[in-house]
Amino acid sequence: MEPEGVVDVLRRLLQALVPGGIVVDLIAVPPPERVEVGDEVLGELDQSRAIPRWLRTAAGLDALVEEGLLGAEGEEPLSVLVRFPTGRDAVDDVAQRTFTRMPAELARRVGAIEGPVAIREHSLVRRFRRLASENSCGRPRFPTSRPGAASIRTASMSLLLAGVIGALIALIAILADAPDWYDGVYAAHSGRPDFFLWVFLIAAQMALSLALLIPTLRIVQPLYHRSNPSRRPTILAFALTISAIVIGFVLLTVLFLAPDFRIAIPVLTLRILTLNMLSFCVVLIGAIGGWLVYFALSDDFVTTPTKASVDHFVDLRLRLNSLLSVVGLILGASIVGMAGLRNAVIAFNNESSAFPGQYLFIYGAFFSALLALAYLPIHRRALTVGRTLRDLLLPLPSGDNWTSIAEWNANRKALEEVLSLDLSANLSARTGAAILTPLVASLIGLLLS
């Protein structure tokens, strides 16, 4: 059966399984099967065609777990030893398989053995439990709507509510005491549209920051709970270092280099710094998550790789890309908000020197550079671990069978795509766009000014 048909078949089988019923999955995992005579290992079977198929097929049950139909309860390795009366029996058995081959040289050696021969297979036993889905009458039913629709609606409402709260925080921080100063500052003043545009942008920035806080925490919390406790002091030191660099840069530019936001609004600088520090807290959580991924890549892949290893690696890459997108979006929104503030300051003072454009560019370049410096070591570590997984899962086949080598190369490229090991596509497209978001936002802000 082709892998894409597995999920549909499993869904039909689950209809006959009562809620709470157990599903046991037995899959073969690397290293490849080994031919043994007594305590001597004669060689390994060529399973370069089979391993990618195992990985894709086993994903069927994982998809049902993601849909909420099954709950994963655990897994454990299992070694199976199949014994044959003679070596020729072992060779004939392997010859009947579709996706596994015995290299020619190994087949000649094994076929000449007249005594018992064994083939050892490494497997992984996974245990799942059927989850119940109930209708209004309390009777279990198979889901008929799109999987996860209710949870998606709940998550959307949570994001919307967080966004509204963030916008209200910004509006209160800027306009709560407006009756005391607005008429004196903007009475018959032509800069009012630019001021309200900036208020809108800072409110949008805070709405985005608080809305993204929820998915950021959902990404980071599992990473933290699974992390090695001995790594946490290092991560804390990293967070403090990043905080010190950012705070020092902001205070240096605001208090000593940049203009003092010459609008006659009481403690305007303090209000702006406070709101941006709230946004930075979300960015910092995302940065911590990135380094949790880095240490997970260092600590979680020290044993023989299995299907679970590939799943775990792909999950870490997805989490890392999501965190990078969150950080890039918030930093970009902050730079756009600063561009709006620049317009308001220039309109109020009627002179462009009140807020020189180079400060906007400096902010964008600084945060893009900082984001690149924080992310690239994690990206390099992911590439190293991914290539190690690839080489262990699909070692170069032995012998001179060029057909086997061609198939191995095709499977290797397919696995590289699953593991996202294409450096040029990954770095230049996705990560590059996120890293350059602050810089691009500063340039857009200058053009719109």
- Say if residue 55 is in the same domain as residue 175: no
Beta strands in 94-253 (DSSP E): 117-130
The tokens for 197 are 């545009």
- Give how far Cα 418 sits from Cα of 53, 165, 315, 317, 366, Å: 12, 39, 11, 10, 33
Select from 130, 164, 188 the last residue of a domain: 130
AA letter at 204: A
Query: Does 188 have pLDDT greater than 60?
Result: no
Of 19-28, 212-221, 226-235, 322-331, the range with the lowest mean pLDDT is 19-28
- Say if residue 98 is in the same domain as residue 172: no
47 compared with 340, residue with greater pLDDT:
340
Residue 17 lies in a domain: yes
For residue range 305-364, list pLDDT tens digits in order. Answer: 766 778 888 888 889 989 999 999 999 999 999 888 888 888 877 777 778 888 889 999
The tokens for 18 are 């009562």
Residue 137 lies in a domain: no
pLDDT score of 422: 67
Query: Does 411 have pLDDT greater than 90?
Result: no
For residue range 91-118, list pLDDT tens digits in order. Answer: 999 898 888 888 888 899 999 999 999 9
The tokens for 77 are 């390795």
Residue 140 lies in a domain: no
Span 124-138, mean pLDDT? 63
Select from 130, 161, 178 the last residue of a domain: 130
**CA pair distance 143, 17, nearest whole angstrom:** 14
pLDDT score of 191: 58
- Per-residue pLDDT band for 134 (boundaries 50, 70, 90) equals very low
**CA pair distance 286, 404, nearest whole angstrom:** 44
Measured distance between the N- and C-terminal CA atoms of the chain, rounded to whole angstroms: 60
pLDDT score of 3: 45
- Say if residue 153 is in the same domain as residue 79: no
- Per-residue pLDDT band for 128 (boundaries 50, 70, 90) equals confident
Residue 21 lies in a domain: yes
- Say if residue 304 is in the same domain as residue 240: yes
**CA pair distance 107, 122, nearest whole angstrom:** 20
**CA pair distance 412, 44, nearest whole angstrom:** 18
The overall average pLDDT reported for the chain is: 80
422 compared with 336, residue with greater pLDDT:
336
Query: Does 166 have pLDDT greater than 90?
Result: yes
- Per-residue pLDDT band for 369 (boundaries 50, 70, 90) equals very high
**CA pair distance 269, 71, nearest whole angstrom:** 51
258 compared with 206, residue with greater pLDDT:
206
- Say if residue 73 is in the same domain as residue 179: no
20 compared with 438, residue with greater pLDDT:
438
Residue 143 lies in a domain: no
Bin 141: left if φ > 0, else alpha if -120 < ψ < 50, else beta. Answer: beta
Span 195-203, mean pLDDT? 90
Query: Does 294 have pLDDT greater than 80?
Result: yes
- Say if residue 91 is in the same domain as residue 178: no
Percent of the chain with pLDDT over 90: 27
- Say if residue 266 is in the same domain as residue 306: yes
Answer for the pair 438, 362: CB distance below 8 angstroms, yes or no.
Answer: no
Q: Who contacts 73 (Cβ-Cβ below 8 Å, separation ≥6)? A: 127, 128, 129
**What is the domain extent for residue 117?**
3-130
**CA pair distance 305, 392, nearest whole angstrom:** 7
pLDDT score of 189: 53
For residue range 266-283, list pLDDT tens digits in order. Answer: 888 888 889 999 999 999
Span 64-85, mean pLDDT? 80
- Say if residue 166 is in the same domain as residue 311: yes
Query: Does 1 have pLDDT greater than 50?
Result: no
Query: Does 141 have pLDDT greater than 50?
Result: no
- Say if residue 108 is in the same domain as residue 224: no
Burial class (CB in 10 A: 0-12, 13-18, 19+), 244: exposed
- Say if residue 78 is in the same domain as residue 184: no
Residue 141 lies in a domain: no
For residue range 224-253, list pLDDT tens digits in order. Answer: 988 888 888 999 999 999 999 999 988 888
Residue 254 lies in a domain: yes
- Say if residue 121 is in the same domain as residue 188: no
Percent of the chain with pLDDT over 70: 82
Select from 68, 95, 130 the last residue of a domain: 130
**CA pair distance 313, 418, nearest whole angstrom:** 10
- Say if residue 241 is in the same domain as residue 330: yes
Residue 138 lies in a domain: no
Number of domains into which the chain is organized: 2
